[in-house]
């Protein structure tokens, strides 16, 4: 058939392609060694690095509290250190756990969702042995816990949950409550398979024994926690601003300022001022009985009435002008310290002002 390649021609084309190799030119001078980052659409990056760092800083305190509380309760040296804060899918978290292991499903009221607190047998059994006064055995620690052992572990678990509540209390008040305990990770279903979760991994050292503990928080719980953390920062910033304002007010309140009452004003030329003599009368722009102005610096703050207090000229404040914010603290202090004056006396007539 015309236009069809023979088998020999097809073999020749394939041979030429194999010998040519990857000689396609790079577009726009691109680097052939450029690193390509894969993106998993099934597990998108839901949490930023800053959010993960914030969670790590928060749970560093959780590790310190666990070290102190469990050491006092078990009566042996227990060291808890945070290893990492990792975003995963819940499927990856479950399949990374050993079997058997002890998982507690916990509710964090009033936050939504449930969390999973996982403790490996290499941590659980040394704690039992210390609690019950037995000798440390190096073997046989991978078996499942009995019903009696699960009940005995309620006491240290309550202290762990108390440490978690104390860690988060600065920005949210929670009441952790254990829903159930499982020893097979497949049965501790706190989220859907592909749900993004944040896993806080902790290293636990009990004497010569070493194990792991992890706190798994689904995205709905982690988002609520991060939101509360952001709200606390806003409140903290506002509290800092209020504290700075009060501190500035305390400093400014001790500053001495000149307060003057002005009866009126008059404009004179230099010639008139040079010609002033004793008993001359200067006419002011204010009428008798009109309120006078009270100034601090060059700012008019009050209107007042002239009077007399203990044989000295005094003024009674009658109306406050609008005061700019930086001067409000000074005005409040002056108003609080203003003495109560007797009723004002009649000011002198114009022809008596000299």
What CATH number has the domain bearing residue 64? 3.40.1550.10
Please report the pLDDT score of residue 44 as a whole number: 53
Residues 215 and 295 in one domain: no
CA 111 remoteness from chain centre: 17
* Residues 311, 313, 317, 322, CA torsion sign: negative
Q: Does residue 203 lie within any of the structural domains? A: yes
Residues 152 and 200 in one domain: yes
Q: Does residue 26 lie within any of the structural domains? A: no
Residues 220 and 287 in one domain: no
From 180-184, 233-237, 246-250, the region with the lowest mean pLDDT: 233-237
pLDDT in tens, 93-111: 888 888 888 888 988 888 8
Q: CB neighbours (10 Å) of residue 152?
A: 15
Q: Would you say 188 and 103 are in contact if contact means Cβ atoms under 8 Å apart?
A: yes
Residues 153 and 291 in one domain: no
Residues 219 and 129 in one domain: yes
Most confident of 38-42, 198-202, 228-232, 242-246: 198-202
For residues 49-56, average pLDDT: 84
How large is the greatest C-alpha to C-alpha distance in the chain, in angstroms? Answer: 135
Element (H, E) at 61: helix 49-74
Q: How far apart are CA 87 and CA 37, in angstroms?
A: 17
What phi and psi values does residue 241 have, to the nearest 5 degrees?
-65, -40
Please report the pLDDT score of residue 234 as a whole number: 43
Overall number of domains in the chain: 2
Please report the pLDDT score of residue 49 as a whole number: 83
Q: Does residue 313 lie within any of the structural domains? A: yes
Task: Label residue 196 by pLDDT band (50, 70, 90).
Answer: confident
pLDDT in tens, 290-327: 888 888 877 888 888 888 888 888 888 888 877 655 55
Please report the pLDDT score of residue 352 as a whole number: 42
Closest C-alpha among 96, 73, 100 to residue 84: 96
On the question of pLDDT at 211 being above 80, the answer is yes
pLDDT in tens, 128-146: 888 877 665 555 557 788 8
Please report, for residues 30, 108, 115, 221, 351, the alpha-carbon distance to residue 199 in angstroms, rounded to integers and kept in the order given.
Answer: 38, 16, 10, 12, 90
Q: Would you say 63 and 202 are in contact if contact means Cβ atoms under 8 Å apart?
A: yes
Closest C-alpha among 183, 70, 80, 211 to residue 130: 70
Please report the pLDDT score of residue 350 as a whole number: 47
* pTM for this model (two decimals): 0.53
Residues 72 and 201 in one domain: yes
Query: What percent of the chain shows pLDDT beyond 90?
Result: 1
On the question of pLDDT at 249 being above 50, the answer is yes
Residues 195 and 59 in one domain: yes
Residues 217 and 291 in one domain: no
- CATH of residue 291's domain is 2.30.330.10
Tell me the residue ranges of DSSP E strands in the chain: 78-89, 102-109, 114-119, 175-182, 196-206, 209-218, 259-262, 292-296, 299-309, 312-320
Range of the domain at 162: 49-232
Closest C-alpha among 327, 110, 71 to residue 225: 110
Residues 228 and 252 in one domain: no
Residues 207 and 100 in one domain: yes
Please report, for residues 56, 114, 191, 216, the alpha-carbon distance to residue 194 in angstroms, rounded to integers and kept in the order given.
Answer: 23, 16, 8, 14
């Amino acid at each position: 058939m015309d236009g069809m390649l023979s088998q020999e021609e097809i073999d020749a084309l394939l041979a030429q392609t194999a010998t040519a190799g990857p000689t396609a030119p790079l577009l726009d001078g691109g680097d052939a060694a450029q690193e390509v980052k894969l993106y998993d659409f099934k597990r998108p990056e839901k949490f930023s690095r800053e959010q993960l760092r914030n969670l790590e800083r928060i749970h560093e305190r959780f590790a310190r509290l666990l070290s102190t509380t469990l050491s006092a309760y078990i009566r042996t040296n227990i060291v808890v250190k945070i290893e990492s804060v990792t975003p995963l899918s819940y499927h990856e978290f479950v399949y990374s756990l050993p079997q058997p292991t002890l998982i507690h499903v916990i509710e964090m009221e009033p936050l939504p969702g449930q969390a999973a607190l996982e403790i490996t047998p290499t941590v659980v059994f040394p704690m039992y042995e210390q609690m019950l006064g037995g000798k440390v055995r190096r073997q046989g620690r991978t078996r499942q816990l009995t019903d009696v052992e699960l009940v005995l572990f309620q006491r240290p678990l309550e202290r762990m949950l108390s440490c978690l509540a104390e860690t988060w209390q600065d920005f949210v008040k929670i009441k952790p409550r254990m829903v159930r305990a499982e020893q097979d990770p497949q049965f501790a279903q706190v989220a859907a398979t592909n749900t993004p979760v944040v896993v806080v991994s902790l290293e636990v050292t009990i004497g010569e024994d070493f194990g792991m503990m992890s706190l798994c928080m689904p995205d709905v719980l982690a988002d609520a926690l991060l939101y509360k953390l952001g709200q606390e920062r806003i409140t903290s910033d506002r509290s800092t601003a209020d504290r700075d304002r009060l501190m500035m007010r305390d400093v400014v309140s001790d500053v001495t300022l000149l307060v003057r009452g002005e009866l009126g004003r008059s404009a004179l030329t230099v010639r008139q001022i040079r010609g002033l003599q004793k008993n001359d009368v200067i006419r002011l722009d204010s009428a008798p009985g009109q309120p006078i102005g009270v100034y601090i610096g060059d700012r008019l703050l009050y209107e007042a009435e002239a009077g007399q207090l203990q044989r000295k000229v005094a003024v009674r404040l009658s109306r406050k002008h609008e005061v700019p914010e930086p001067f409000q603290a000074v005005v409040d202090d002056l108003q609080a310290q203003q003495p109560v004056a007797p009723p004002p006396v009649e000011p002198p007539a114009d022809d008596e002002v000299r």
